Structure 1
Amino acid sequence: MNTAALDSLKSSVSGLETISKYRRIAIAVGLDAALSNSKTAMSLLRYRGEHCLAVIDPAHCGKTTQELYGVGGNTPVVASLSDVDTPDALFIGISPPGGQMPEDLSLVITEGVQHGLDVVSGLHDFLVDNEVFCQEAERSGSLLIDVRRNQHRKTATCADFRPGCLRIHAVGQDCSVGKMVTMLELERGLQKRQADAKFLATGQTGIMVVGNGVPVDCVVSDFVNGAVEELVLQNEQHEILLIEGQGSITHPAFSAVTLGLLHGCAPQGLIFCYEAARPHVKGLPHVPLKTLERYRELYEQLASERFPAEFVGVAMNGRNISAAQGEIEKQQVQELLGLPVCDVYRDGPAVLVDAVLGLKERMST
């Protein structure tokens, strides 16, 4: 590929507008992909399952995704791209720490591009920075779509959002506690009640599910608040906005993104997401988590510095405890915080739907 063509590819938009158009998706996770790093694959299977043909995972081929991940029904896990029947796109299904591209996954991507497939990746290692991918894409006409690549360059202006637009934001005790799933399930639940609700993605997985959003962890720090503020402004015609959260306000690595989101979207309502029985920050066993009461205090105080905010409910992730233990946990947390609590994975979002609609009614009177 000549220099001018490569520079043009790198300076172009990321191609997010095409993501939602794919209807025959192959998901690649590579060799030895930890299940904890495969949340993108799981979410695609959960929310775009009708579009997912197979997961490419040589280590687990022969299984179904239901057996491997607990979602996706009979969607097969296969050994190679050649085992997938006429896909129109290859989605990278992992989100490992640091977002680096595993070498074995590079081989699958090269094969896909050689066969003319568009490739969608949420990794920090951009497809367009790989000369081999670019050369093969120029020959085949494939699109290389880096979900995290962005051109957000505006600072926040403390905009006055439309008064009739209720902004609900998911915040958490840590990473990977279910903030995105909670908001997507809440969107479904609200829409079933005929509410005009819209999920706003702020991470690579959410963007790959819905086809738009802001990848806040790859926005230059000065522009995080502004990018989120603009995302809200672009969608404030809806009655209820459900803004996906990232990280945690006390996370040693990711607190900056969390605060930028909090002030950029200026929520009136907060939903606290946590994992029962998680003792420490994910990946940092020497960093204990705070109490639930402390998280509530911090989030409400910091959010209200931008706009008055209150917690309306709690989303408990009970994957590490039994259903019976989960019932006890929910009751204890409800008594502790005085807030409705549910496990959206086991119970569905009805409790949180009621809480959001209740806040909407209170704010309209």
Structure 2
Amino acid sequence: MSVSTTFPVQETHDESGANLTGYNRIVLLTDGYSTPFHAKTAISILRYRSDDVVAVFETSGVGETAEALFGIGGSIPVVASLEEVDADAVFLGTAVSGGRLPEQWKPLILKALLRGVDVVSGNHQFLIDDPDFRNAAESSGARLIDIRRNRQNATSTGMPFREDCLRVHTVGQDCSLGKMVVSFEVQRELQRRGEDAHFIATGQTGIMISGEGIPVDCIVSDFVNGSVEALVRRNEGHDILLIEGQGSIAHPSFSAVTMGLLHGCAPQGLIYCYEVGRTSVKGLDHVPLVSHQKMIETYLANASLRCPSTLIGIALNGRNVSREEGEAERRRMESEFGLPTCDVYRDGAAPLADAVIKLRGELRS
């Protein structure tokens, strides 16, 4: 696993990474940012690792449950003090703009470290760079784990992957609309059918859930393609890889990461993801979204520069519309593009898993 640097264990990059799946008494810190826009990391951890979460830290929601706060997480309590829970780690559960640590969190993080509780962060601002955090960790033996801190330095070889390893990659019309969830849900559905399918995490939330991966948005640009290629190659013993997408090829801020992923994983199949009703680019309201048709054509053209690629399905996110409106949209998109379309949040990923199996059959024949 190539994910993080830990302190005080060591200050250099550790190819074995931290055992993030070893924590089973996690407190999710979202204090002051407990909204779907900011707390998508916490929400995904509640979705996929709820058995490992003992509490959510949010002072404004004390006495409530995670279910009441986020609509997921059942009876996991919301607390305002670490003394209320027996924790082995605090996971920072937000994706705050710019990846910076909210200043009001520093006292809580220091308190956790002094109690010997590890702190795991996916922010661009690294915990290990703060001398107060380092001193607290050193005095107690706790670990600072910065998911995004890395020393990836591989350039792409352009060599083909194992022929019988099918690579399916999620791409999107924009950021933060469910590419990770779609990849993970398709992988889980394939596993339920007995297939050897594996999820490849490329962002901090996916890494926190699966325990392995690389943070592609924090890798030097020359090394994105090669680092993704190397990650895929380490996992090409599996029959099917579901590779998490990042950003959007049309996003003015994040298109470079998206392109690096496309060429690094050389997908044979793409699943296109979008959010129903969204009209502008996330974080840039003055920038309108590009049409689905143009986005799909652009993804296929650029992916196929390295490896022939085809669109196998569409995943819509209908969180802001009713079930009836979402179903009408699903039928419309399915009719327009002639491809299986579904909302994995509401209806599961079976149609997309069917599409993966169909693609494998077509490639083998």
TM-score, length-scaled by structure 1: 0.96
In 2, Cα distance between equivalents of 1:39 and 1:81: 22
CA RMSD of aligned residues (A): 1.4
How far residue 79 of structure 1 moved from its aligned partner, in angstroms, is: 1.2
1:231 corresponds in structure 2 to: 231
The separation in 2 between residues aligned to 1:322 and 1:231, in whole angstroms, is 39
Larger helix proportion, structure 1 or 2?
1
Alpha-carbon contact 2:8-2:144 (below 8 Å) kept: no
> How much has 1:30 moved relative to structure 2?
2.3
CA distance in structure 1 between the partners assigned to 2:64 and 2:335 by the alignment: 42
Name the CA distance, whole Å, in 2 between partners of 1:273 and 1:186. Answer: 13
SS at match of 1:278: coil
Amino acid paired to 2:99: G
Q: Which amino acid aligns with 2:364?
A: S
Cα pair 2:268 2:308 within 8 Å, conserved: yes
Percent identical residues: 51
Determine if the alignment matches structure 1 residue 25 to structure 2 residue 26: yes
Question: One-letter code of the match for 2:234?
Answer: Q
Q: Does 1:181 align with 2:203?
A: no
Structure 1 residue aligned with 2:218: 218
Per-residue CA distance 1:284-316 (angstroms, 9 max, x = gap): 111101111111100000000010000000000
Q: Is the CA contact (8 Å cut-off) linking 1:249 and 1:299 kept in structure 2? A: yes
Q: TM-score, normalising length from structure 2? A: 0.96
Moved over 6 A (4+): none
Cα offsets for 1:198-238 (capped at 9, x unmatched): 00000000001111101000000100000000000000000
- For each residue in 1:157-189, what CA deviation from the matched residue of structure 2 results, as whole angstroms up to 9, or x when unmatched? 112100000000000000011000001111110
* Residue in structure 1 matched with residue 17 of structure 2 by the alignment: 16
Aligned runs of 1:35-74 on 2, under 5 Å? 35-74=36-75
Separation in structure 1 between the aligned mates of residue 352 and residue 202 of structure 2, nearest angstrom = 20
Q: How far apart are residue 14 of structure 1 and its match?
A: 8.1
**Partner Cα distance (2:9, 2:143) in 1:** 13
Give the match's secondary structure for 1:270: strand
Does the Cα contact within 8 Å between 1:116 and 1:142 map onto a contact in 2? yes
1:266 touches 1:306 (CA, 8 Å); kept in 2? yes
Give secondary structure in 1 for the equivalent of 2:258. Answer: helix
Cα distance, 1:197–1:285 mapped onto 2, change above 3 Å: same
Shift of 1:25: 0.7
Task: Tell me the distance in 2 between the aligned counterparts of 1:196 and 1:158.
Answer: 25
- Determine helix, strand or coil for the equivalent of 1:10: coil
Partners of 2:9 and 2:275 in 1: CA distance: 44
Letter in 2 for 1:30: D
SS in 1 for 2:320: coil
Match of 1:3 in 2: none
- Matches of 1:311 and 1:16 in 2, distance apart? 34
**Correspondence for 2:4:** none
Distance 1:50 1:33 in 2: 20
2:13–2:150: 8 Å Cα contact kept in structure 1? no
Q: What is the 5 A alignment of 1:164-313?
A: 164-313=164-313
